[in-house]
Structure 1
């Protein structure tokens, strides 16, 4: 096997120069050298440095979240209530449906598809809130939205649901008898095999959506310097306003519910018991109404 000669680098450079000169003299012009690979690639835009959350940024963040979720619902509920007050029929003779069909009864699969789609996209504000928390180097655990204490959270939520749910039912029945509430139809879905699962999912959606956003609002308002009493009152008032379409009685009932939930959040720092309680209340209301309205005389809407 022949030996490989090691040529010094200086000799190699001289050889390359001689070959380049010969090529230039042969072609008459020298081809331009190709630019370096680094020059060809465009420079990547650097990531922005993490900014400090100022009160102005926090206020803008809160307004954006409200405009995309419960704030918009509160405005819509207030408009609906004005419409109900100015209607020729009394409040008790008007009906508000919470979960209704989204397609004709002859097209159940289209209705199911739209129900699932609305459930999925209703979680967008929750995703936004969690993203904003992570971006500010916090997390869902900051507001207690996690599964670290499932048994305790579920037990507390069930007890709270029994207390608040029964109280809310009494408020609704009394206010309806006094003509201060519309007839609430929690479920107006058509008869179908998927009606019960959709009602349960709708109830859980309400619990997650509302309580996670309220936990976020209480956290941010506290960071803005609001006292627990002031922030709880503001959030409870918001909860009452977006239930105003159900009448004055439910406005008062949800205001009381908001005060209790806000106090519990400040006491324990967790929204999971509130999510569980809200979900249980709505599951009982949605599923119960589907089987009881029209079968018991004391429940409006029969």
Structure 2
């Protein structure tokens, strides 16, 4: 390779690095920093972590349901802008979200395996959360605190879908692709992706960090095996729908579920 090729290659590498940092800076990287600050605030606050709460879907305009709905839909839609940005960057390299396996080519494969993964992780995830909270490593997570209005459950489902699409497209498909292009080893990329996933759940406590980091390792393995984020978007969606809607239906009605 001539000098021009070396310079051109280094410029492309720098472009990909900067692009990746910008995508993370307007999405889950920023969420990781926010979660860290929140965690520091929680551990330095008087009282144990289990006595504090982390609310995931709260009201944005208490007592004003239509305004609240507008804010909820605004938040969900704008949170997906980084996914559109990723799609734009992929188009620039003559690709699309399809190279990450986020398309409709294999719907039954995605739905079937996604449901299976959700079933396995869901049961173990609940047990891990309860144990971590009992040991004082986790805040009490309140998956939803929305008003009891007609749009409550549709918004919870949309919120779950948004979380799944954002996280799996960016932290799994896009990030692994870019880290590979930047020369990271497979193990290094796995660690980077999994630690990032754990970081933006740190606001829940040490349990939230560790549990999601472990889930990240499993998801990276499955993504590499299948070459598709589709099943993992489905799995993540079902896990969050189960958590959000399940909490709304069961909170205060069963003894084993901690509430605020």
Q: TM-score, normalised by structure 2?
A: 0.94
Structure 2 residues without counterparts, runs of 5 or longer: 1-7
The residue number in structure 1 matching 2:102 is 145
CA drift of 1:236 comes to 0.3
| CA–CA distance in structure 2, aligned partners of residues 84 and 211 of structure 1 | 27
CA drift of 1:224 comes to 1.3
Checking the alignment, whether the CA contact within 8 Å between 1:171 and 1:250 is kept in structure 2 is: no
1:1-302 paired onto structure 2 within 5 Å: 54-105=12-63, 107-214=64-171, 215-301=173-259
- Partner of 1:202: helix, strand, or coil? helix
Q: Structure 1 residue runs of 4+, over 2 Å off?
A: none
- Partner of 1:154: helix, strand, or coil? helix
CA drift of 1:89 comes to 2.0
The residue number in structure 1 matching 2:3 is none
- Partner of 1:99: helix, strand, or coil? coil
- RMSD across aligned C-alpha pairs, in angstroms? 1.1
CA drift of 1:242 comes to 0.5
CA drift of 1:87 comes to 0.4
Cα offsets for 1:221-256 (capped at 9, x unmatched): 111122222101110000001000101111111010
The residue number in structure 2 matching 1:28 is none
- Partner of 1:54: helix, strand, or coil? helix
CA drift of 1:86 comes to 0.4
| CA–CA distance in structure 2, aligned partners of residues 265 and 130 of structure 1 | 18
Moved more, 218-227 or 231-240: 218-227
The residue number in structure 2 matching 1:22 is none
| CA–CA distance in structure 1, aligned partners of residues 119 and 185 of structure 2 | 29
The residue number in structure 2 matching 1:3 is none
| CA–CA distance in structure 2, aligned partners of residues 162 and 181 of structure 1 | 23
Cα offsets for 1:88-139 (capped at 9, x unmatched): 121001000000000022x110101111111111110000001000111111
| CA–CA distance in structure 1, aligned partners of residues 39 and 16 of structure 2 | 31
Higher relative contact order (CA 8 A, sep 6+): 2
Alignment length (residue pairs): 251
| CA–CA distance in structure 2, aligned partners of residues 200 and 189 of structure 1 | 13
| CA–CA distance in structure 2, aligned partners of residues 87 and 151 of structure 1 | 48
